[in-house]
Amino acid sequence: MNASVEQPSEAPSTHWFSHSKYEGPGHSASATGCMISIVLDASARHDFRGIRLVIVYEESEQLKKSIADCTLPQIHGIRQSGTPISYRNILSQRSENIRNGRHLLENGDDSALPLCTVVFELVGGTTMIPGSLTAPRVTVTLVLWPVISVKRPLRLAYDRVHACTPDSSSFHVVLTSSLSFRDLGRHRQVTAGILAHSIRVLRISDRTRSPALPPSILRAIVESALRDKAPGWRITLLSFGLVCKSWSYVLDLFFGGVFLNDRGDNADVRQVASSLEQNPERAKLLRRLSPRSSEPTKVTLRGLAKLEDLYLQKGNISGPQLLRFVTTPPSPLRSLDLQNVQGFSNHHLLHFLMATANTLTTLTIHKSHIPRLTEDEEYALDAVMPKMRCLREATVDAGIASALAIARKSREETWRKGSSRNSISIEFSGDVSLESVGNAMEVTSWDFISATWPNVPNWDDDLRKKISAAAQARSIEFHCFKLHLWT
């Protein structure tokens, strides 16, 4: 295996390679095992007479020893059953593949179809084990060659051809190396699956096709990938799968095993966001978003016009960033929850509530600073309340609304026989009088009102009786705990 090899000046431009790297079945105690799977998808299986796998390396002292087919499954702990690819079947086909491959290389084929050649380069490197006093470990990596010319002297480490038919259009091989494919760690043990490369070959004309999965399944995949959990390669794979339709062919890897002990593959939610904003239909895949201060990328996502529930917690978000969630009308937002959020003004909140007035059913604003430009500026919630006919529950702190948020509540379209009662819990600032709240209850359509003040306002028995009478006459349940007033 010391023959030299040259890369063709131009790689074929009729087919497209989809390359994924993940952890395969079994486990490797020495980390010297690697599995490669090459599959001709759809019509591409009729374009080639065989698959040729070539592994090359640049001349170096470290990489002198070649890679070979692994004939001892116990070396890598590969199970004989219960895995997607049977190791025994791979070994049983090995001799026939080598014999057929030699025939194809030497004698050609009457069909005159080309070989599908996949080239990897073996690249050496070193890693230092944390806390170890030993010398750095020598490791190797397989890198798929890009579609460019390579002008370097290279040596041939591995060359096999697998004959293909429409019924047998895949090539699976397990390789072993004299060097480790990954760092072993302090105790020289790797319990995860052996390294696996998966390559799908598609015609360029087929690139725009993607499986027609039901929206419910796609939505479940997206929500699962973005849920708070340990990062993994499936999240990035999802990102690419949404951005590029051709990657949909490899989204089945979501349902394979994943080992969370490999922390090197972090999530990149921005790529998912980019795909959603380019395709409004795919924006429906993400229904809920709950970013926190530790996840700033989620707060800055754009174009998520199909959100139904938005929960923002502990952080800064500008007015334009907030409005990006409702840029494409009509907005289906049903629930808005702001907890310890600041950075936007009352004016921005006004535009946000106007865009969601027809659908919003639940509103919570807690410990969030939303300033007005002047003291005379009307509160956003007060201004939009007449149009918020679907609003069933509101909880807001001081500085967000006045008694007008109670008075302007309309019963039109919100009241249904046998439906739950509308309720509002509001903390007023010191400039809102108890009398104005009493006047608001004479015209409001809220069924339950809970009001508090930072300081107990002045009131007398006549005012208390007036408020109690107004509440009882209209069947309103009114609580004002600091004043010991409830009906």
pLDDT in tens, 209-267: 445 556 565 556 555 555 544 445 455 555 555 544 444 433 433 433 333 333 333 33
Range among 111-125, 199-213, 266-280 rated most confident: 111-125
pLDDT of residue 81: 45
For residue 303 the two structure tokens come to 């174009």
CA angle 155/52/106 to nearest 5° reads 85
> Which tens digit of pLDDT belongs to each residue from 14-34?
777 777 776 655 555 567 778
For residue 278 the two structure tokens come to 């380019």
Reported as a pLDDT band with limits 50, 70 and 90, residue 394 is very high
Burial of 206 (0-12, 13-18, 19+ CB in 10 A): middle
Higher-confidence residue of 160 and 72: namely: 160
Is the bond into 330 cis (omega within 30 degrees of 0)?
yes
Higher-confidence residue of 446 and 202: namely: 446
The per-residue pLDDT of the chain, averaged, comes to 68
Distance of CA 395 to the CA centre of its chain: 31
Range among 38-52, 172-186, 447-461 rated most confident: 38-52
The Cβ-side half-sphere exposure at 174, using a 13 Å CA radius, reads 29
Minimal CA–CA distance to 357: which of 322, 337, 339, 331? Answer: 331
Residue 57 has pLDDT above 80, yes or no: yes
Percentage of the chain with pLDDT > 90? 9
Mean pLDDT to the nearest integer, 371-381: 92
- Reduced to 3 states (helix: H, G, I; strand: E, B; else coil), residue 164 is coil
Reported as a pLDDT band with limits 50, 70 and 90, residue 458 is low
Residue 304 near residue 277 (C-beta atoms within 8 A): yes
Mean pLDDT to the nearest integer, 398-415: 77
Residue 54 near residue 159 (C-beta atoms within 8 A): yes
Q: What is the DSSP letter of 192?
A: S
Least confident of 78-87, 108-117, 212-221, 260-269: 260-269
- Reduced to 3 states (helix: H, G, I; strand: E, B; else coil), residue 240 is helix
Burial of 78 (0-12, 13-18, 19+ CB in 10 A): buried
CA angle 409/344/223 to nearest 5° reads 85
Residue 78 has pLDDT above 90, yes or no: no
> Which tens digit of pLDDT belongs to each residue from 288-301?
444 444 344 444 44
Place of tokens 């796998």: 53
pLDDT of residue 251: 43
For residue 275 the two structure tokens come to 């795909």
Residue 449 has pLDDT above 70, yes or no: yes
What is the C-alpha to C-alpha distance for residues 253 and 200, in angstroms, rounded to an integer? Answer: 12
What is the C-alpha to C-alpha distance for residues 293 and 470, in angstroms, rounded to an integer? Answer: 44
Residue 18 near residue 247 (C-beta atoms within 8 A): yes
* Rg of the Cα atoms in the chain: 32
Superfamily in which the 286-486 domain is placed by CATH:
Ribonuclease Inhibitor (3.80.10.10)
What is the C-alpha to C-alpha distance for residues 81 and 62, in angstroms, rounded to an integer? Answer: 36
What is the C-alpha to C-alpha distance for residues 336 and 321, in angstroms, rounded to an integer? Answer: 15
Distance of CA 169 to the CA centre of its chain: 32
In the chain, CATH 3.80.10.10 sits at: 286-486
The enclosing H or E element of 116 equals strand 115-127
Q: What is the DSSP letter of 80?
A: S
Q: E strands within 59-153?
A: 68-69, 115-127, 137-144
Least confident of 263-267, 429-433, 460-464: 263-267
pLDDT of residue 209: 46
